Every structure is written in C-alpha cells, then in structure tokens.
Amino acid sequence: MSHARDLGHLEASLQHSELHDDAQRVALAWRSLRRGSAARKMRALAWAPDPPQLEMGQIDSLDLLVRHRSWTMCEFATALGIDPSTATRAIGRLIDVGLADRHTSETDKRVTLVTATPLGRETQRRVATRRLGVVVEALETFTTEERHTLADLLDRLVASLDEVVDRRTRPQSRAGGD
C-alpha cells in the first residue's frame, strides 16, 4: 500500500513538474510575442512603417476606437481595461497625431465623446491589413488542423487567464457574512 501511495505521489509530482514546464514555455513564448525581436520587427513592419509612427498602446487604442462611431471616455476605458485617466492620455496621444477627436455630447454636456477621425480609420485599416498579412503568412507553415487547434487553444488560454485574474483580484468575502 505504501508503494502505491509513493507512486501516486511521484506521479502527482511529475504532473506538477510537467505543468510547471509547460507554463514556463507558454510564458516565454508570450514574452517573445510581446517583446522579442520578431515583435520589434513586426511593429516596424506592420504598425509604424510610415507616418504616423505608432506604438503598441496607440494601436490597441485605435483598434478599439474604430469599432464604434463614438465612445464615452468611461466606456472606452472599460472596454480597453484601463483606468479613465490612462484612457484620457491614450486618446490625447491619438488626437495629437490626428487619429482621434474628442468633443462634448450634444445631449449631455457633462459627457465627453471620442471618435476616430477619417485618418484614424484609414490608418487602423492599413495597420490591421498589414498585421493580418504577416499572421496569415506565418500560419501558412501550419496545417489546417493545426491552425484551428492553435486558435482554439489561444481562445481557451485567454478565457482561462481572464478567469484566474478575476478570481485572484476579486476581494475575498470574510467569514460571518461581513
């Protein structure tokens, strides 16, 4: 019986070790996607080959901004997952290069609305087309089944990360109903 328990413990340790190793590989790949040499070259190739020179955060903001005709600053900040003050600075940088506009709502003067300018919409379309072209070319080395599996697994990873982060950042309720 002791031998079976030891084997079970060893198997659990190996599974934990394999999980740790896999998590480390995913974390390193994630970092490479965000910060590696290919990511830096991708920024130069797809995001900033011609004016205006945009940074990753500006592209994220512009990608979101063009999804709707206009956004309140609060809606925009929530959708981007950032604080309202950070959203205000992000929009300010887009306004500075002519890609966004900020104005007061005609129906509620207390509300500030932000919109993509025509140049902003064209810039986002151009960047998205180039970015997608690079990803399509990279995925050509995968089989159809591998591409589907990769996309499904990435969707699951994003959903799982959202759940874990939400759970870990949720305030813990105290025992006794407080």
What local confidence, expressed as pLDDT, does residue 7 receive?
A: 63
Mean pLDDT of 128-154: 94
87 lies in some domain: yes
130 lies in some domain: no
52 lies in some domain: yes
Q: What is the CATH number of the domain that holds 94?
A: 1.10.10.10
Contact in structure between 91 and 114 (CB atoms under 8 Å): yes
**pLDDT tier, 1 (very low <50, low <70, confident <90, very high otherwise):** low
159 lies in some domain: no
Distances in whole angstroms, Cα of residue 104 to Cα of each of 73, 93, 133: 11, 18, 37
Judged against a pLDDT cut of 80, whether residue 44 lies above it is answered with no
CA gap 93, 44 in Å, rounded: 19
DSSP run (H or E) holding 71: strand 71-72
Residues 6+ positions from 56 with CB-CB distance below 8 Å: 43, 47
97 lies in some domain: yes
CA gap 62, 87 in Å, rounded: 11
Share of the chain above pLDDT 90, in %: 56
Number of domains in the chain: 1
Burial of 52 (0-12, 13-18, 19+ CB in 10 A): middle
Expressed as residue numbers, the domain containing 63 is 47-124
29 lies in some domain: no
What local confidence, expressed as pLDDT, does residue 56 receive?
A: 82
Q: Which of 158, 162, 133, 131 is nearest to 59 (CA)?
A: 131
26 lies in some domain: no
What local confidence, expressed as pLDDT, does residue 175 receive?
A: 55
Report pTM: 0.74
Judged against a pLDDT cut of 70, whether residue 9 lies above it is answered with no
33 lies in some domain: no
Distances in whole angstroms, Cα of residue 134 to Cα of each of 19, 30, 63, 123, 127: 31, 17, 17, 17, 11
What local confidence, expressed as pLDDT, does residue 57 receive?
A: 85
- Sheet with 100-104, side-by-side order of all strands: 71-72, 112-116, 100-104
**pLDDT tier, 11 (very low <50, low <70, confident <90, very high otherwise):** low
Q: For residue 47, how far is the Cα from the chain centroid?
A: 15
- The region of weakest confidence among 50-54, 88-92, 140-144 is 50-54
